[in-house]
Structure 1
Amino acid sequence: MTELKTTKLFNPDADTSLENRLLISGETTHMMILSDNKYPWSNKLYQTMMGNFWIPEKITLTADKQQYALLSKDEQAAYDKIISFLIFLDSLQTKNLPNIGEFVTLPEINLLLTIQQYQEALHSQSYGYILESVASPEKKAEIYKIAINDKFLRSRNKYIVDHYQEFINNQSERGFVKVMMANYLLEGIYFYAGFTFFYNLARNGKMTGTAQEIKYINRDELTHLALFQGMFRELRKERPELFDAALEAELADMMRSAVEHEIEWGAYAIGDRIQGLSAESIAQYIKYLSNFRMKRIGLDPLYQEVVDDPFPWVERFTDFNGAKTDFFEEDVINYSKSTKLNLGGLKGKFGKK
């Protein structure tokens, strides 16, 4: 197994000719020259991520505080569990992203990973603002502890943490691909039962401020998906020998496990107890998303029988400014505002672009 090539913090003698500028194990001075990026899509994505700046406290949650007390017992329990889980996920991302960036030898991609790290911290802050706005100090402290103390969530969280820890302990090139996949699963699968729960509350006129916060977070997460999709595409071009049948089978198994975990989580946290949602519809939605995510990184979808989106109404919440962006095509419309990427704002049948 090939170890990742480490680089000096500053190497003025690095050969940065195009053939030596690689995502990993390349030559680099670590100087950012944003007018000379190897991957044209990276600058478009940079501008979008920077244009997505937002401040959680600008969203008023006064009505949410009143509505939180009026939620049903099941709605409030799901709200608490999901908020706690999402805080954990973004906290984990904030901590782990530098472990990935340490071995990236393209400065423009490191820049995007740094922006992502900031945004993950902002998301954790936004969840904290939500809790401070709707819950008492005592209840807020209890909610924070759910992700640590709840036996189901502790087991659930261990799966993705173990993949991150495996890379920290064994930093190989194949391990880099797997940690990219683990990040992709967290961003593209693990958030979505929770996001859907909040959007479902909002479409029923409940906790609309919280849903607005989630919408901005979702907007950021779509750019994070775009980043890792781009990294997968470029690494596959640069190092095709890494993506052999055995590794692709491992990546498929990782996706399958993540889907199973998210489906189990949806049944545990939401189940058939929330108006407008069911354990079965959530399971279909996660499989639908999985198919889309796999196709975008060049892997075969796992659930060929799932072709329809069971939650077409979600698109009303993830359609930002009516604009559409695909960072891997030449034309980008309204990229400074758009986050309805051709990867997350799903429309119609699976695979339709």
Structure 2
Amino acid sequence: MLFEEQIARKPNLYPWTQEFIDRIWAGFWTPNEFDFKADYGQFKTELTDQERQVIVRTLSAIGQVEIAVKRFWAQLGNNFPHPSMSDLGYWMAATEVTHNLAYEKLLETLRLGDVFEQNLKEPVVRNRVDYLRKYLDRVYTDDKKQFVYAIILFTLFVENVSLFSQFYVVLWFNRFKNVLKDTAQQVQYTRNEEMLHAQVGIKLIHTLREEYPELFDADLEARVLEESKVAYQAEKDLITWMIGDYNDSKISAEILHGFVQNRLNDSLHAIGFAVPFVVDKSIAETTRWMDEESYGNNIVDFFHKRPVDYAKKNRVYTTEDLF
């Protein structure tokens, strides 16, 4: 049982935890792989003023989430006192540290530090942080039920939804405008790990439902569904601020609104809850390329981008290093 303490490391009562750790090891990366110099030149010379604003606001939104709300997994073993859970939680927390350092480096290289600080003061950005931290709010007196509620909110909204509209924007610019190669590569790594973390959370939620079915009552589902509507409104407002009236093939505020609704629906469906949003089927068709990149096997042009599906080199090399 997840909430019951296990002292000895063996036997591993949840052997599937090692499968997730193996996947983290296989995809390990560091910010030292990138220098972003080409991205900086493209950012300054190949994007319009409006496109630069979209990128700045998008990267600010990513950096804000990575820095503000990512301490959950480090405490996993405190709530589920099993050695295997502690191990998994620490490895997942380590990837969050990588994300923090990586986006700090990116913002510094693009010389956006001051703009980043200004954007964090925007009401829509602060409001997004407030809703993402709702998993910390106490709503149940029973500790076990409270943690079930917390892990559902964190898994669905923080890990599986909050950053994906921003990932969409960066990867769209790389795919359809052929710019920001290093930034897009970093986003791919981050996206893969956010999806992995969400899969861990969903696996834990299903395990909790099997072991403690009495905690999953109608009240819990109703609360989560209500919070999903709050989450959508916060994300919708952020997207509107982030994108503005920028409109091109397969990208606009309206398209991203539908994209987020789809992710919320998929997240809730994955844990057996009702889905609250009705989304135009054309939105799913328009954003299919993103789903294909996220869930399909990568086809890599090795002269342009590095693969993200297995172990990679661990630093960038300059001409000075080589010659």
Which bracket does the TM-score occupy, shorter chain normalised?
A: 0.7 to 0.9
Matched, 1:312 2:288: yes
User: How does the TM-score come out when normalised to structure 2?
Assistant: 0.83
Deviates more, 1:169-178 or 1:226-235: 169-178
| Identity score, percent | 21
User: How does the TM-score come out when normalised to structure 1?
Assistant: 0.77
Q: 2:115 aligns with which of 138, 142, 146?
A: 142
Once the two structures are TM-superposed, the CA of residue 165 in structure 1 deviates from its matched residue by 4.6
Q: Please name the residue that 1:188 is paired with.
A: 160
Matched, 1:28 2:6: yes
Matched, 1:210 2:210: no
Superposition map of 1:290-309 within 5 A:
290-307=264-281, 308-309=284-285
Superposition map of 1:1-353 within 5 A:
22-24=1-3, 26-29=4-7, 31-33=8-10, 36-70=11-45, 71-135=47-111, 139-147=112-120, 149-166=121-138, 172-184=143-155, 185-203=157-175, 204-276=177-249, 277-307=251-281, 308-315=284-291, 317-319=293-295, 321-322=297-298, 337=310
Distance 1:293 1:102 in 2: 25
Distance 2:94 2:118 in 1: 23
Distance 2:268 2:142 in 1: 24
Q: Which has the higher helix share?
A: 2
Gaps of 5+ in 1: 1-21, 324-335, 339-353
Once the two structures are TM-superposed, the CA of residue 269 in structure 1 deviates from its matched residue by 0.7
Indicate conservation of the 8 Å contact 2:75/2:89, yes or no: no
Once the two structures are TM-superposed, the CA of residue 146 in structure 1 deviates from its matched residue by 2.1
**Cα pair distance change 1:166/1:146, threshold 3 Å:** farther
Q: Please name the residue that 1:341 is paired with.
A: none
Q: Per the alignment, in what secondary structure is the counterpart of residue 79 of structure 2?
A: coil
The letter of the residue matching 2:18 is N
**Cα pair distance change 1:95/1:305, threshold 3 Å:** closer
1:146-177 superposed Cα distances (whole Å, 9 cap, x missing partner): 22x1122112211222432548x977222111
**Cα pair distance change 1:107/1:310, threshold 3 Å:** farther
Distance 2:310 2:296 in 1: 8
Indicate conservation of the 8 Å contact 2:36/2:183, yes or no: yes
Once the two structures are TM-superposed, the CA of residue 98 in structure 1 deviates from its matched residue by 3.5
**Cα pair distance change 1:317/1:132, threshold 3 Å:** farther
Distance 2:270 2:161 in 1: 13
Gaps of 5+ in 2: 300-308, 312-323
Q: Per the alignment, in what secondary structure is the counterpart of residue 32 of structure 1?
A: coil
